[in-house]
Amino acid sequence: MQRNYMDRFIDGIELIAAAFVGIVAIDIFVSVLLRYFFAVSIPDSYDFGRLLLGILIFWGIAATSYRGTHITVDLVWANAAPRWQRAIDVFATLVLLFVVAVQTYTLFDKVVSTYHANVSTYDLRIPTWPFFAVAWLGDVCAVLLIAVRTYRLIFHPELMPQYRIKPPDE
């Protein structure tokens, strides 16, 4: 099956989120290894860890929002007819789009205020606003992917994995 640009864009965002998982894991592993075996700590390792974890969270929101793989409560959805399941999905995705859009707006304000306050890390005095900006970009991607999900749920449900028609078993 030929993949269009949007599907490749979605895959790229998921790949970026996965890369941040790896970066956070490496940071934690190396920090613990150095501290435990050599009694040495990486300067600003705590700051880097928490800033990278923040980035990971926002890119993770982007990665899970499109696929609908975030934590859900499916008690009503599982017992509804397929038509109502889709209606519930559309409503829930619209609510998620609104919440994440407001979150993106407020996070941008945090990026700007951090930049103007010249907030920096403790040891190396590295400005923290670029970390906030990368997290904000993850949130922007989340808004884009949730908008794509909403559009596809409403107009092209066949493009969504849970609504693909499966061939009958023989």
For the segment 107-152, what is each residue's pLDDT rounded down to a tens digit?
999 999 999 999 999 999 999 999 999 999 999 999 999 998 899 8
User: Tell me, what amino acid is at 128?
Assistant: T
| pLDDT in the model for residue 75 | 82
* Confidence grade of residue 163 (pLDDT, cut at 50, 70, 90): low
* DSSP letter assigned to residue 160: S
For residue 53, pLDDT beyond 70: yes
Task: Report pLDDT for 72.
Answer: 66
Least confident of 34-43, 80-89, 116-125: 80-89
Instruction: Report the phi/psi class of residue 52: left, alpha or beta, with left for phi > 0 and alpha for psi in -120 to 50.
Output: alpha
| Token pair in block for residue 82 | 């397929």
**Separation CA 13–CA 8 (nearest Å):** 9
Torsions phi, psi for 120 (to 5 deg): -140, 170
* Residues forming a β-bridge with 127: 120
pLDDT at 112: 97
Mean pLDDT calculated for residue range 83-109: 92
CB 66 within 8 A of CB 148: yes
The model's confidence at residue 83, banded by pLDDT at 50, 70 and 90, is confident
Q: Is the pLDDT confidence value at 99 over 70?
A: yes
What CA–CA distance (Å, rounded) separates 138 from 66?
13
Q: Mean pLDDT of all residues in the chain?
A: 87
Averaged over 65-92, what is the pLDDT?
80
Angle ∠(22,56,74) on CA atoms, nearest 5: 110
What average pLDDT does the segment 8-29 reach?
A: 89
CB atoms closer than 10 angstroms to residue 5:
7
Helix 82-116 vs helix 45-67: angle between axes, to the nearest 10 degrees? Answer: 150
Per-residue pLDDT at 105: 96
Cα separation, 140 vs 111, in Å, equals 13
